Amino acid sequence: MTTLTQTEDAKAPTGSDAFLSVRDLRVQFSTEDGIVKAVDGLSFDLERGKTLGIVGESGSGKSVTNLSILGLHNRKATSVEGSMMLDGQELNGASERDLEQLRGNKMAMIFQDSLTALSPYYTVGRQISEPFRKHTGASKGESRARAIEMLGKVGIPDPKNRVDDYPHQFSGGMRQRAMIAMSLVCNPELLIADEPTTALDVTVQAQILDLLKDLQQEFGSAIIMITHDLGVVANMADDLLVMYAGRAVERGSVREVLKAGQHPYTWGLLGSMPRLSADVNEPLRPIPGSPPSLLNPPSGCAFHPRCEFPSLVAGDGKCSTLRPELPTGRAAACHLTAEQKQQVFIETIQPRLV
């Protein structure tokens, strides 16, 4: 079913079976203060039915990546380079017409803030049925029935009546459910969830995450889950991509990254998160400093000013001059050698995490 499209990029893995394949994506905004390199050479693959978690702090480029996949960026002020292949179709540079065919149909998005993402002027039912009518050509009655079905599926009580409600009549958790219903109405093959539960309370977050997981099994969508919460990806995602300052710094399966991280930034994230199972007398280990400005990112490895371990790297000041590349497959973009990473992780990092 997949069209075999060989990407021109030589260092790309054999990404032929990948459903979504992003290669060397660069997104830049021109602002008054200069050019912001929001995403700087990002590559990843996503298979059908799998979940990719993208973790990073604010400003690490995770949202921008996904807005450019959907073509929702401001075209006038943004330059997007690189290739984004969705099921053999190039998304970068695709016409607005083509993208409209895909958005809401083959790929859909769940936004963080459901109150601003839903229009206050239209009923929830109309907003859910609109993409369905547009993409399948269904009649008004059919699409309304579909909206009611979807609302029921995501757990809105009494969907027959609530379909005519406006977003403000829904609670926060219900609005998020309605947005999930809207994104799934056309059985998308790719679902991008941008911090879908950050604005919600924990008990509601648990409901929504479980709902997404169960719906994924039913619909078979591939999900890109963007979040800053390692706890959320730990039980949602198959693979994990850690981003810092517009670049991917580590890639691997969830287990590999969380249990045997290789990048100092990943270690820092793990050490700064308080956990319910951790020893309370053990102080948190924050990453010193603050995330860099993307207007003027640090030279070499963008993480080196906050890193604990540049002194271990052979070659004088290599970290501040030479930017480490992220090899394909399970890897981290760091100058430490594999043995050093393993040694540091076992000797220094792991004891802190117990």
Partner 1 sequence: MSDNNTTTKAASVPQQRDAETATPLLQVKNLAKHFPIKGGFPIRRTVGAVQAVDGVTFDVNAGESLGLVGESGCGKSTTGRLLTRLLEPTAGSVTYRGQDISHAGRKQLAPIRSEIQMIFQDPYASLNPRQTVGSIIASPMEINGINPSGGREARVRELLEIVGLNPEHYNRFPHEFSGGQRQRIGVARAIALEPKLIIADEPVSALDVSIQAQVVNLLQKVQKEMGIAFVFIAHDLAIVRHFSQRVAVMYLGKIVEIADRDSLYLRPRHPYTHALMSAVPEADIDVVKKERIRLEGDVPSPISPPSGCRFRTRCWKAQDKCATEEPPLVQISGNLPGHLTACHFPEDPTTERTQDIILDPALVALEDEPAGGDKA
Binding residues for partner 1, rule: CB under 8 A, are 57-58, 152-155, 157, 171-174, 177, 201-207, 209-211, 214-215, 217-218, 228-232, 234-235, 254-255, 258-259, 268-278, 280, 283-288, 290-291, 353
Query: How does DSSP classify residue 295?
Result: T
Instruction: Give 200's contacts (C-beta < 8 A, 6+ positions apart).
Output: 172, 173, 176, 208
Chain position carrying tokens 């045997």: 260
Residue 212 buriedness (CB in 10 A; 0-12 / 13-18 / 19+): buried
b/e 82-96 (16+ beta carbons within 10 angstroms → b): bbbbbbeeebbebee
- Residue 230 Cβ vs partner 1, minimum distance, rounded to whole Å: 4
Give me the phi and psi of 284, to 5 degrees please: -70, 155
**Which lies closer to partner 1 via its Cβ, residue 110 or residue 209?**
209
Minimum distance of partner 1 from residue 169's CB (angstroms): 12
**Measured distance CA(128)–CA(119) in Å, rounded:** 11
What residues are paired with 89 via a beta bridge? Answer: 86
The letter for the amino acid at 163 is V
DSSP three-state, residue 203: helix
Smallest distance, partner 1 to C-beta of residue 199, A: 9
Q: Half-sphere exposure (CA, 13 Å, Cβ side) for 260?
A: 13
Do 190 and 224 meet the contact criterion of CB atoms below 8 Å apart?
yes
Q: Tell me how far, at minimum, the Cβ of 254 lies from partner 1, in Å.
A: 6
Return d(Cα 198, Cα 114) in angstroms, integer.
Answer: 11
Q: Which is nearer to partner 1, 130 or 229 (CB)?
A: 229
CB 258 to partner 1: min, Å: 6
Name which of 278 and 338 has its Cβ closer to partner 1. 278
User: If residue 29 lies in a helix (H) or strand (E), which one and from where to where?
Assistant: strand 20-31
Nearer to partner 1 among residue 9 and residue 57 (C-beta): 57
Minimum Å gap between C-beta 78 and partner 1 is 24
| 99 vs 353, beta carbon nearer partner 1 | 353
Which CB sits closer to partner 1, 8 or 33?
Answer: 33
- Min CB(262)–partner 1 separation in Å: 17
Minimum Å gap between C-beta 119 and partner 1 is: 21
Q: Which is nearer to partner 1, 231 or 298 (CB)?
A: 231
How many C-beta atoms lie closer than 10 Å to residue 57's C-beta?
15
Q: Which is nearer to partner 1, 203 or 311 (CB)?
A: 203
Q: How far is the CB of 184 from partner 1 (least distance, A)?
A: 12
Residue 20: how many other CB atoms lie within 10 Å: 24
Cα–Cα distance for residue pair 45/225, rounded to 1 Å: 14
3-class state of residue 269 by DSSP: helix
Q: Angle at the Cα of 170 (from 73 to 100), degrees rounded to 5?
A: 30
Would you say 26 or 259 has its CB closer to partner 1?
Answer: 259
